[in-house]
């Protein structure tokens, strides 16, 4: 569906964008792929990789700037919204800035997409939007609700959907690059020995976005089935000789990640490789065109990293870390 299409990714110089752009160009042949971000240095560092590809354009802009988005979205067919303020402690100590990017920015993306005639938008979300306990999660829950409601707001024009991730392996600010930065120091800080995290690769994240674009009718939240790991096992894989220093849970941090809460169970359907949370508005959660071949999950269902049926082994993570070190996405 992306052949000869015009595609834009917000926050395109972040970890997701740096994986999304080359993967998209390798599989499809878009007529234009616009990388929008507010950091000129990151654009300057990323641009040489695509210097000989006339399909790739770099566009300085901030999702907080509504007028700039209107200019950027002109003629665009599909938008991936990856821009966010996402570091939990940063959001806790800079709440106004987090709201401006994650909520006001989402509103600007929705308005610009509708008014500029964008066909479909997929927004990236987080496990922290499910039963949020921190400001980042609360802003992303609000953002998710805005994108779901955008399907009513657009009056049947632009379609919006959301993909929800847990811990993205190797992404900026995540646990694996942090532990790698401390490798050989003799000690790795652990917030709590009981802590677990979902483990999804950037490649899997990109493929979930592609699936959302192909499958969406509008208003769906897609959650991929992924394995979990104890944070202590992640640390032991990175540096088997390091001791673990228990430092306590950080402000706004959860012991376990949750991507689907019990309150979402009545509107959640299971598929072979993912779950889909359908919106309650307009009875869309009972819409056959959205449900397709899904099976409704039982009442009381939750999808959390500590109660997962699928666990990643140290050997599997170790092999992934070796590949990451050979070709990291920063």
pLDDT above 80 (res 315): yes
What are 132's two structure tokens?
């949020």
Residues of the chain with pLDDT > 90, as a percent, come to: 92
For residues 11, 281, 158, 211, the Cα torsion angle rounded to the nearest 10 degrees is: 60
Burial class (CB in 10 A: 0-12, 13-18, 19+), 3: exposed
**pLDDT, the chain, mean:** 95
For domain 6-166+201-225+260-302, give the CATH number: 3.40.50.720
Examine the pLDDT at 328 and tell me if it is beyond 70. no
Report the pLDDT averaged over residues 117-125.
Answer: 98
Q: Is the dihedral of CA 182, 183, 185, 188 positive or negative?
A: positive
Mean pLDDT across the stretch 178-201? 94
Catalytic residues: 128
- 250 pLDDT tier (thresholds 50, 70, 90): confident
pLDDT exceeds 90 at position 58? yes
**245 is written with which tokens?**
């220093």
Measured CA to CA, the distance from residue 112 to residue 117 in angstroms comes to 8
pLDDT at residue 19, as a whole number: 96
Starting at the edge strand that comes first in sequence, how are the strands of the sheet with 32-37 ordered?
A: 56-60, 32-37, 6-10, 78-81, 120-126, 159-165, 221-224, 274-277, 268-270, 295-296
Of 252, 251, 269, nearest to 260 by C-alpha is 269
CB 55 within 8 A of CB 95: no
Question: What's the CA gap between 13 and 6, in Å, rounded?
Answer: 18
Residue spans of the domains in the chain: they are 6-166+201-225+260-302
């Amino acid at each position: 569906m992306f052949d000869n299409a015009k595609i834009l990714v917000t926050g395109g110089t972040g970890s997701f964008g740096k994986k999304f752009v080359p993967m998209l160009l390798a599989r499809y042949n878009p007529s234009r792929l616009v990388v929008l971000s507010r950091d000129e240095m990151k654009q300057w560092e990323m641009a040489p990789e695509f210097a000989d590809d006339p399909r790739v354009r770099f566009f300085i802009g901030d999702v907080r700037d509504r007028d700039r988005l209107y200019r950027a979205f002109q003629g665009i067919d599909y938008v991936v919204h990856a821009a966010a303020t996402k570091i939990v402690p940063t959001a806790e100590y800079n709440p106004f800035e987090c709201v401006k990017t994650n909520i006001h920015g989402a509103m600007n993306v929705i308005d610009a997409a509708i008014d500029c005639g964008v066909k479909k938008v997929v927004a990236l979300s987080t496990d922290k939007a499910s039963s949020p306990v921190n400001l980042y999660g609360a802003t992303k829950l609000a953002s998710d609700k805005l994108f779901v409601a955008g399907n009513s707001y657009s009056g049947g024009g632009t379609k919006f959907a959301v993909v929800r991730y847990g811990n993205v392996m190797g992404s900026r600010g995540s646990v694996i690059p942090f532990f790698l930065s401390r490798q050989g120091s003799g000690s790795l800080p652990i917030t709590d020995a009981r802590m677990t995290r979902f483990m999804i690769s950037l490649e899997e994240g990109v493929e979930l976005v592609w699936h959302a674009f192909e499958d969406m009718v509008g208003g769906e939240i897609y959650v991929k089935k992924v394995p979990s790991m104890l944070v202590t096992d992640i640390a032991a894989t990175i540096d088997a000789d390091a001791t673990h220093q228990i430092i306590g849970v950080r402000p706004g941090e959860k012991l376990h990640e949750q991507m689907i809460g019990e309150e979402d169970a009545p509107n959640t359907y299971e598929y072979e490789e993912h779950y889909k949370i359908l919106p309650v508005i307009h009875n869309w959660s009972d819409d056959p065109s959205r449900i397709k071949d899904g099976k409704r999950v039982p009442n009381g269902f939750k999808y959390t990293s500590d109660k997962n049926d699928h666990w990643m082994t140290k050997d599997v993570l170790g092999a992934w870390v070796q590949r990451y070190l050979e070709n990291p996405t920063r």
